[in-house]
Structure 1
């Protein structure tokens, strides 16, 4: 994977710490990159502009909420957590550039990747052992510096859900034709066919070019009776409306994005009946963990009127995961120490927002169960329709 031209100037990693007591300086003075006496600096890469970026619009708020909560509690080992951020526009070549900026020029300790274009900077991060957490990192699960609570989310529960609804042939839809998105679509196709469903090849939709009506007719001609959307919510809404116009008999429509209460006023009616797989605790379930999340969003990301948004919560969890690594790395964290310590955490649950996972095995053990929520027929709310659907149909 090619990187943009330009040398990466890295600060040397120094594992030794000074003898200055924490009581005198608030935190230990260390020599590692991004680690100062009073703060630790992270990098944040956002898919913040360009096609389909709207789906991730709430991600930075989730980062701010979790970091704000940590800092309000005194930081991590006495250090305030700060970050520098860059927009990669979801573009692999741009991701390479901004990744080099954050690691070289800014000297960050590690990086939060809220983007699907990590391929651009992956070689830089791997070569210099930069700790990384974030979204859509499943292709890099074997990289020891990369962490996720769900590297592999089995597509099979989605297939089981569609089968239970009476579906037989699935139309797989994507927003745009980025190779990473199409590759994900092909993974879902293979999984669906492995349990007896028929499925189309991923079908790309570009709003400025493609006609929803023509696409709906294409789906009808193919004999599709259910849909799987790897799409921006507005794109799926247009396609669903067109499908209704040609009376396409859909037993299920499942979307990987759009579990966002902020979308209901504008798109709820158009997406009525659409279902969403949720690996976190559904917002409708309530409980202490969600109360903590919502309180942090209200306090540290007040620009988000409704915190019950899919990518805000996911970004909050990915940030929490990084902070857990900083805690585990001790008072004088190094990148190597962070990676080793976080890999040994066997009961990570994001403060109760997810089922506990072993971070030492997430690279090889896929997440096998989801809850499914659905937009009600009136389009103004979500409801939990299946609290637990698993890859093993016997566990559904």
Structure 2
């Protein structure tokens, strides 16, 4: 396998000791020495994680950089001595963007691969979530699917882009009639459309319509014509960047007077070479510290990407960063679970953290709250008019209307 934790903060000594006791089987001398650690994926020298993402299938173009972030964080952990002296190893599976294939991939990793837990970059886990919860398997990842909410074993630092924050950004830019562009009418997409429509309404934008486009079966010019007939002055893309870019180009060719266009994904420098011109002027919400802001946390991430995911020629990729953070989150839980970890101890310890910040990459998140609340504030960047770079445009936009 090709290998690809910002700093792990120390918890109070008493908490660590309690977790260590919980995580270890009884020892011969009662103080942890000589303990037998027999949790799945745990040996005296190694801890094995599983990774699930769409390496193929329709979503693969969006998640193409996810594996690099996972490999980079694992490589960095091992270079720094592993966790409690154990080297971190990994097995990965392709879910192909399919719930059926995803369920088989998860079962294979948990039942046959005997991994300790999972890091995921997938929108196809819903058929596996109930089983993972019943089995108490710890999982970190992007909470793209609504069923993540309320599961103590499933950890996320971002449950979604706050629809209200996106609505406020569009309203501040002068948007009054919003065309939401989606690839299909699947349940996940329908849920997202409902959420963003409500968020736009909450921000004071009450004229919203939804348009579906897929390059495989549709014509972007026809979609642009329908958007023009609706009279939209703003676009919101809940769609892959390449597909949304085709619609943006078509609206531009039709000389539509749009005030703002927002895509929920696409903050990926590697995309600029091919998609930059089509996405020129499009704004994107950023849930972590923007790459353009720099600083020690960003430098650490870039160094890890360059060292342990060298085939990824561009380090500044949104989904690589998401997976890097979610892998760091898993490693934090493994550290807190003590020298002889159990899945139960991992979940209990990580759910006790109130200020996880991925070493400065994100605003502190209270992991004790897993009710599915989206981040209330984040930044926005915009693709330059030439389509060659990202420009920070808003450092802070919040659901309560405050800005920075």
TM-score after normalising by structure 2: 0.90
Q: Which residue of 2 aligns with 1:129?
A: 136
Residue aligned with 1:203, SS: strand
Q: Is the 8 A contact 2:161 2:285 kept in 1?
A: no
CA distance in 2, matches of 1:204, 1:96: 28
* Residues 117-173 of structure 1, C-alpha deviations (whole Å, 9 max, x = no match): 110211220110100111234522201101011225421111111111110011111
Q: Which residue of 2 aligns with 1:7?
A: none
User: Alpha carbon RMSD of aligned pairs, Å?
Assistant: 2.1
TM-score after normalising by structure 1: 0.92
1:194, distance to aligned residue in structure 2 (A): 2.3
Q: Which residue of 2 aligns with 1:3?
A: none
User: Which of 297, 306, 312 is matched with 1:304 structurally?
Assistant: 312
* Residues 10-38 of structure 1, C-alpha deviations (whole Å, 9 max, x = no match): xxx9951655999x99xx64111111111
Select between 255-264 and 182-191 the one with higher mean Cα deviation: 182-191
CA distance in 2, matches of 1:303, 1:93: 30
Q: Which residue of 1 aligns with 2:74?
A: 67
Q: Which residue of 1 aligns with 2:178?
A: 170
Residue 16, structure 1, aligned to residue 25, structure 2: yes
1:21 and 1:106, CA in 2 relative to 1: closer, same or farther beyond 3 A? Answer: farther
Q: Is the 8 A contact 2:178 2:209 kept in 1?
A: no
Q: Is the 8 A contact 1:17 1:31 kept in 2?
A: no
1:70, distance to aligned residue in structure 2 (A): 0.5
1:81 and 1:216, CA in 2 relative to 1: closer, same or farther beyond 3 A? Answer: same
CA distance in 1, matches of 2:56, 2:262: 25
CA distance in 2, matches of 1:382, 1:73: 32
Q: Which residue of 2 aligns with 1:346?
A: 354
Residue 51, structure 1, aligned to residue 62, structure 2: no
Q: Which residue of 2 aligns with 1:119?
A: 126
Matches within 5 A, 1:23-34: 29-34=36-41
Q: How many residues align?
A: 382
1:34 and 1:375, CA in 2 relative to 1: closer, same or farther beyond 3 A? Answer: same
Matches within 5 A, 1:1-396: 16=25, 29-137=36-144, 139=146, 140-363=148-371, 365-395=373-403
CA distance in 2, matches of 1:170, 1:374: 18
Stretches of structure 1 lacking an aligned partner (at least 5 in a row): 1-12
Select between 277-286 and 92-101 the one with higher mean Cα deviation: 92-101
CA distance in 2, matches of 1:77, 1:199: 55
CA distance in 2, matches of 1:168, 1:201: 12
1:175, distance to aligned residue in structure 2 (A): 2.4
Stretches of structure 2 lacking an aligned partner (at least 5 in a row): 1-21
1:95 and 1:337, CA in 2 relative to 1: closer, same or farther beyond 3 A? Answer: same
Q: Is the 8 A contact 2:245 2:279 kept in 1?
A: yes
Q: Is the 8 A contact 1:96 1:121 kept in 2?
A: yes
1:149 and 1:198, CA in 2 relative to 1: closer, same or farther beyond 3 A? Answer: same
